[in-house]
Structure 1
Amino acid sequence: MSHRQSGPPHLANLDLNLLVTLRALLRERNVTRAARHLGVTQPAVSATLSRLRRHFGDELLVRVQGAYVLSPLAAQLAGQAEAVCAAAERLFATGRAFDPASTEREFTLLMADYPASVLGPALSRLFDREAPHAALHLQLVRETIGSGAGETIRLVDGMVSPPLGHFRTPGVASVPLFTDRWVCLVSACNPLCEAASFGIEDLARQPWVVPYHRDDGYPSAAPATRQLAALGIRPRIAVRVESYRAVPDFVAGTRRVALVPERLAAPLTSAHGLRTLDCPVPLDALDEHLWWDASHDEDPAHSWLRDLVVRAAVGIAP
C-alpha cells in the first residue's frame, strides 16, 4: 500500500474515535482482545482496522505464523497514539473534581520488572481498593532507559527509576520511593559460599549474569555494570538477560554470579537453591524514585496517583 495523504488532515475532518481503537489494537495486537478491552464487538473493531489501514496506507497489523505483529509504521505510531490519548484524557479531565472511587481513567507507569516486583503487591491492593473502576497500564522496560528519558516521561504518567543524570532536566519532577542495596547472587553449590572470605579478584574471575547490559561498549548504562565498573571489574559476561527476574534462573546450579538488588533476591533464594553474599566492598545504594512531567502537578488525578505510589512504597517490607 502507499500513503494517500500528501499533508496532515484537518482535525475537524478526523473521527477521533479511531484513535482510541488504534491504541487498543497496537497494544493488544489482536482484534478480539482489542474489542474486549473497548467493550465493543469484534466486527466493529475489524471494520475500524480496515478504515485505519486505508487512512495510513499500511497493514498496521501483519499476520506472521498465526499471530499479528506490528508493521514498522505501526511500531512508530504506538508511542504517538499513547501520548495523544493520554494528553486528551488529561485535557478533558481538567477542571473536573476527581473522585478515585468512580473514575474510569487509565494511568500508565513505566518501570523495570525489579521495582514492579517490589512495589507491585502494595500498589495493586491500594489501586483496587481506592479506584476499582480505573485501569492501570504497567509498561515494563525491555532495556535500560537511555538519554531519551526526558521525552519518554512525557508519554506516561510516571516512571520508576534510579536518579540517572539525564532525568535532571527542566520540567521533570521526582520523589524518592525506596532504597535497596546490591548483593552477590550465587548458587548454593558455588565454592564462594564455602570461602572464609573473598575479594574483588575472586569476583572478577567468575562468569557473570547481567541484566539490561547492552553489547555496544563497557560499562553500559545498566545499573549492575556501572557498579562493577566502579569496582574495577570488567566481567566475563556469560549471560545477558532483559529482565531482573530472569537472573536467578541462569545463576542456579552454575558457577555464575550476579549483582542484584537485595529486595528482589531475598524471596527467590530458597526456591532456586541460591545464596546471597555481601560484596567485599560497599557499593552505591540503589535509590528508586518516581519521575513525572511537572506539567501534571496541578492535575488532581495525577496528584492522587503520585500519592498512591508513595504510599505503596511506604508499605513495602523493610
Structure 2
Amino acid sequence: MAEKPSLARLDLNLLVPLDALLTERSVTRAAERLRLSQPALSAALARLRTHFNDPILARRGNTYELTPLAQRLAEYTPTALETARRVFDSQSEWQADSSTREFTLYGSDYAFSTVGAVASRLAAQRAPGVRFRFMLHTPPVVEDAANRLRSVDGLLMPHGFLSDLPYEDLWSDRWVIVAAASNERAQSGLTMDDLAMAHWVFTYQSLTSFTSATRQLQQLGLETTVDAVVESFLALPRYLVGTARLGLVQGALVPFATESGDVIAVEPPFDVTPLLNALWWHPSHRNDPEHAWMRALFREAGQVLGAEHASR
C-alpha cells in the first residue's frame, strides 16, 4: 500500500485557488475573485497540475471544462476549505455578544420565513455581530445530507427524510389546504371526493423530493392530477388564484397565503399527520460551543413559534 504524503509536505494554501478555479473554471475570473494577479493564479494552477498530475482545467474551444478528476475535487474542496476555516476560527473562549461568526443553514422558504426569521431576530438582540446565511436546499443536498452537513451548520427540515444524524426538535405544525377565494367548492368545505377530482399545485414531486402531506394523499389512495410543481411554499398560493386548483401549505404560512384576500384556507377532510420540524446537524459540531449556542437559539425560536401557533 502506498504511503500517504505527510501533511507537512502539502501546501494547504493551494486549497483557496483550487476552490476558485473549480468554481469559476477560468484563471482570469478566479484571479478577480481572489483579487490576485493572473500570473499568480497561473502559477498556482501549475503547482496544482503538478501535484495531481492532471490538467484540472481542459480547454474546449474558447472555454475551459473541468477534467473528470477536477469534477470529483469540486465535491470535496468546499468541505475541506470550510473545515479549515472552522479550525482557525475556533476560539478557546467564545462570547456571542462580541462574535462575528457566520452560521450557514440549508432549508426551505417555509423554514426561513418562520423559525429562521425568529432565530435571526433573537440573535440581533443578543449577538449583533453574528450573521446567518440561509440557503435553499435541493434534493441532492437532502440525499447527501450526512456529507453536506460537514461544511455547513445545519439543515432545517421536518422528520421523515433524514436519520442517523443529531437533531433538535423545534416545533410542530400542521398541513392546511389552500384554494382561490373564488373556488365555490372550497368555500363550502371539501370532501375526499373533491380532493380526488381536483387539480393540484404541489411544492415537490419526485421519488426523493416530496412533502409528508402529498405522500399521505397517495397512501389514502388518491391519484392526484398535478397542474404545476413549484419548489416554493410561499409562491404556491399565487398559482391557485383564478383557478379551481388546490394546494397544501403549513399552518404557519396561512397568514402569508391569505393576506391578499385572493386565497382561502380550508381544513383537510382527513386526519393529517402532524409536521415536526427539526434542526439537523453533523456530529462533528457536537463539542463546538458556538454551534451549541446556535442550537439553543433555534430551540428557543421553535418555542416562540409553538406558543404563537397554539394561541391561534
Indicate the TM-score class for this superposition, using the shorter chain for normalisation.
0.7 to 0.9
Of residues 26-35 and 42-51 in structure 1, the stretch that sits farther from structure 2 once superposed is: 26-35
Instruction: Report what 1:204 is aligned to.
Output: 196
Q: CA deviation at 1:97?
A: 0.9
Q: Distance in 1 between matches of 2:100 and 2:28?
A: 21
Which of 110, 117, 124 pairs up with 1:121? 117
Contact 1:177–1:313 at 8 Å: present in 2 too? yes
The answer to whether 1:271 aligns with 2:260 is yes
**CA distance change for structure 1 residues 199 and 26 in 2, over 3 Å: closer, same or farther?**
farther
| C-alpha distance in structure 2 between counterparts of 1:145 and 1:24, whole Å | 21
Structure 2 counterpart of 1:161, one-letter code: M
Separation of aligned partners in 1, 2:234 and 2:173:
16
Residue number in structure 2 paired with 1:191: 184
Tell me, what secondary structure is at the counterpart of 1:164? coil
1:186 is aligned with what amino acid? A
Task: Give the secondary-structure state (helix, strand or coil) at the position aligned to 2:259.
Answer: helix
Deviation at residue 269 of structure 1 after TM alignment: 1.1
- In 1, the alpha carbon distance for the partners of 2:241 and 2:285 equals 44
Query: In the alignment, is the contact (CA less than 8 A) between 2:234 and 2:257 conserved in 1?
Result: no
1:175 alignment partner AA = E
Counterpart among 205, 212, 221 of residue 232 in structure 1: 221
Shift, 1:202, TM fit: 0.6
Deviations 1:281-311, CA, capped at 9 Å, x for gaps: 1100111011112232211111111112112
2:235 to 231, 235, 246: 246
In the TM superposition, residue 258 of structure 1 has moved relative to its aligned partner by 0.7
Please report the TM-score for the alignment, with normalisation by the length of structure 2. Answer: 0.78
> What is the letter of the counterpart of residue 315 of structure 1?
V
Q: Tell whether 2:244 aligns with 1:255.
A: yes
Aligned-partner Cα distance in 1 for 2:293–2:7? 32
Q: Is the 8 A contact 1:34 1:45 kept in 2?
A: no
The amino acid of 2:239's aligned partner reads F
Larger Rg over CA atoms: 2
Residue 180 of structure 1 deviates from its aligned partner by 0.8
What are structure 2's unaligned runs of at least 5 residues? 50-54
- Confirm or deny: 8 A CA contact 2:27 2:42 kept in the other structure: no
Percent identity among equivalent residues?
34
Query: Structure 2: which amino acid aligns with 1:193?
Result: A
Query: Residues 91-146 of structure 1, C-alpha deviation per residue, up to 9 Å, x if partnerless?
Result: 33556111223333332211111111112322222333333334422221133865
Q: How many residues align?
A: 299
Secondary structure of the residue aligned to 2:97 is: coil
Question: Does the alignment pair 1:111 with 2:107?
Answer: yes
Secondary structure of the structure 2 residue equivalent to 1:139: strand
Q: Provide the TM-score with structure 1 as the length reference.
A: 0.77
Change (3 A) 1:186 1:30: farther
SS at match of 1:179: strand
Consecutive unaligned residues in structure 1, runs of 5 or more: 1-6
How many angstroms does 1:9 deviate by? 7.4
Corresponding residue number in structure 1 for 2:277: 288
Residue number in structure 2 paired with 1:96:
92
How far the C-alpha of 1:200 sits from its partner, in A, is 0.8
Cα distance change, pair 59–254 in 1 and its aligned pair in 2 (3 A): farther
How far is the alpha carbon of 1:314 from its aligned partner? 2.4
Distance 1:13 1:144 in 2: 35
Q: For residues 93 and 293 of structure 1, do their structure 2 counterparts lie closer, same or farther at Cα, with a shift above 3 Å needed?
A: same
**Of 158, 162, 166, which residue of structure 1 is paired with 2:158?**
162
Structure-1 separation of matches of 2:114 and 2:92: 33
**Equivalences for residues 71-82 of structure 1 within 5 A:** 77-82=73-78
Change (3 A) 1:308 1:239: same
Counterpart for residue 130 of structure 1? 126
Larger displacement relative to structure 2 (12-21 or 232-241): 12-21
Q: Distance in 2 between matches of 1:267 and 1:69?
A: 44
Please tell me whether the aligned partners of residues 167 and 278 of structure 2 are also in contact (alpha carbons under 8 angstroms). yes
